[in-house]
Amino acid sequence: ITIYNRADAYTSRLMGFRLEIFNGSDTNAVFTSDDPSPVDPDSVIPITTVPAGIVGNRVKISFPNKTVTLEILEVKVFAVQGSESSASSAPSRSSTPSRN
């Protein structure tokens, strides 16, 4: 999973994010990663700590215990099945309009 952050003066808006992977209709995450950065995240944030064998069909990026707008450029999710791999990316979506 690679998160592409804003590349302007507001990169700090992604500081403290949480990434979760879910599988099927289960509401419990099969993997959770909290941003450990004590400083502003970079413009490209690779999530390399996902253990082998984690299976999921949904990725959620949020801010735990905060009510703020998530502002990112793109998220790429890579899946590996056997010796073949595929990449899927989609623009970020927000239920509230972003404020600059």
Q: Rounded to whole angstroms, how far apart are CA atoms 82 and 85?
A: 8
Give percent of the chain above pLDDT 70: 80
Provide the pLDDT for residue 81.
66
**pLDDT (mean) for 55-78:** 88
Task: Copy the structure tokens of residue 36.
Answer: 């450990």
Q: Which of 3-17, 60-74, 81-95 shows the lowest mean pLDDT across its residues?
A: 81-95
Residue 82, pLDDT score:
55
pLDDT by residue (tens digit) across 36-48?
777 777 888 888 8
Q: Cα-flanking dihedrals φ and ψ of residue 66, to 5°?
A: -135, 150
pTM: 0.72
